[in-house]
Chains A and B, each alone.
Chain A
Amino acid sequence: MASAELRAIRRRIKSVESTKKITRAMELIAASRIVKARERVRAARPYAEKMIEVIHNVGRASGDVGHPLLERRELRTMGVLVVTSDRGLAGAYNSSVLRMAERHMAGLRDRGVALRLYAVGKKAQTFFSFRGYDIASSFLGVTDQPTYADARAVAAALIEDCEAGAVDAVEVFYTIYRSALSYHPARIELLPVSPPEHPEDADAGGAEGKGAALAYEYEPDPAVILGRLLPRYVESAVYGQLLESSASEHASRQRAMKSATENAEELIKVLGRTANQARQAEITTEIAEIVGGAQAMSAG
């Protein structure tokens, strides 16, 4: 009959072992998700690159078209999109991007800029609602494996508010994925759209580059095409950010779960030793009792 102490230790070992099974499974799942997410980041790149190229050419050809998504307005309300995960157990992944966003938002508020908040992921939603921020829209259940349709829904909300004048600009806080060991929170300005400089521009020089762009034939005219292109461009940018964040989330979770599994192994080892000691002490006590009993009998 094991003593109470020994039973308690064995119970703990069992519980740590089952925790270890869970963390190990999560680690493996995260590892396979990283591969998938990275593959999707790669697959999305050609479209994003082409989009930048096209928008650049069309932008030059259409000249000065007043499109609400291009217009730089006086900053009264800033739209802030924060991309986090729905689930925790991902190390510092969520807290680092949330802290970065909150610090920046406090700075904007000090300058008298109103905020309009868009949350991707449950963690952002609870973080900001707990701190008393109003959240304009939340997007849940998308971060594990974001699809283009998810990005389109997020972009649609941002574009609609920007065109309606509810926000004057939009910034995105997300996590850039570099490798399984390197990912860090980042901020980018999404709206108004300012297409990145085309690499050819630097070489070709102004006049020549412009000539090439104008040689296009447009169907319908450039301004109409630009109006159709801009929302697609925003969607594709948001899609890229969701994918990068998702890859980072899985990388961070894999690392967190790996160290949790290792901790569990260490704990099992230590507890095993303690259990052995307790068992040994029990046996020693029993022997001492038997010997003591026998001596008492023979003495009497």
Chain B
Amino acid sequence: MVAASVPMRVDVVSPEAVLWSGEAEFVVARTVDGEIGILANHEPLMAALAAGTVEIQAGEDRVPVQVGGGFLQIVDNTVTLLADEAALATD
């Protein structure tokens, strides 16, 4: 299965490590103003994240990341999540 949408670059960075980095089609994040979904070529955005789960759709995989607040920056088709605290949610 080839994903139809154009991928974008996503980096999830916590103070202690880079948690996830790669290409993704879709990102769902909760900002302090509400939930947002991000597709490729989103306009530049700088948002404060609320504590919760960020979901990254990368190909067939859906990667959930728990964040305890932080920031989300979108510029040049690159989504950077600067999380205060973060962990890859494992099932």
**Residues on A close to B: CB < 8 A?**
40, 43-44, 46-48, 50-51, 54, 57-58, 61, 147-148, 151, 215-220, 222, 224-225, 228-229, 232, 235-236, 239
Closest to A149 in B: B85
In order of increasing CB-CB distance, the 7 nearest A-B pairs are A219-B47, A43-B17, A148-B15, A216-B44, A47-B13, A47-B15, A216-B46
Closest to A43 in B: B17
Closest to B42 in A: A217
Which of B15, B73, B75, B82 counts the most chain A CB atoms within 10 A? B15
- Contacting residue for A225 out of B15, B36, B44, B71, CB 8 A: B71
Contacts of B47 in A (CB 8 A): 218-219, 225
Closest to A231 in B: B84
Closest to B75 in A: A216
Contacts of A57 in B (CB 8 A): 46
The proximity string for B residues 3-33 relative to A, scoring 1 for CB distances below 8 Å and 0 otherwise, is 0000000010111111000000000000111
* Bound CA–CA A86/B88 (angstroms): 33
Contacts of A229 in B (CB 8 A): 71
- Contacting residue for B18 out of A43, A147, A228, A239, CB 8 A: A43
Contacts of A236 in B (CB 8 A): 15
B48: interface (CB < 8 Å): yes
Whether the pair B44, A44 counts as a contact (CB closer than 8 A) is no
- Asked, given contacts A54-B82, A228-B71, A229-B71, whether A219 binds B46 with beta carbons under 8 Å apart, the answer is yes
CB distance from B13 to the nearest CB of A (A): 5
Contacts of B31 in A (CB 8 A): 219
Whether the pair B16, A44 counts as a contact (CB closer than 8 A) is yes
Taking A47-B16, A219-B48 as known contacts, 11 extra A-B pairs with beta carbons closer than 8 A to each other, sorted by chain A number, are A44-B17, A47-B13, A51-B82, A148-B14, A148-B85, A217-B43, A218-B47, A219-B45, A220-B48, A229-B71, A236-B15
Whether the pair B73, A54 counts as a contact (CB closer than 8 A) is yes
Whether the pair B46, A54 counts as a contact (CB closer than 8 A) is yes
The proximity string for B residues 51-91 relative to A, scoring 1 for CB distances below 8 Å and 0 otherwise, is 00000000000000000001101010000101011000000
- Contacting residue for B16 out of A51, A61, A147, A224, CB 8 A: A147
* Bound CA–CA A98/B68 (angstroms): 36
Selected A-B contacts with CB under 8 Å, 11 pairs: A44-B16, A46-B13, A47-B13, A54-B80, A54-B82, A57-B46, A218-B45, A219-B47, A229-B71, A232-B71, A232-B84
- Asked, given contacts A43-B18, A219-B32, A239-B15, whether A50 binds B46 with beta carbons under 8 Å apart, the answer is no
Contacts of B70 in A (CB 8 A): 232
Which of B16, B32, B46 counts the most chain A CB atoms within 10 A? B46
Closest to A232 in B: B84
Contacts of B13 in A (CB 8 A): 46-47, 50
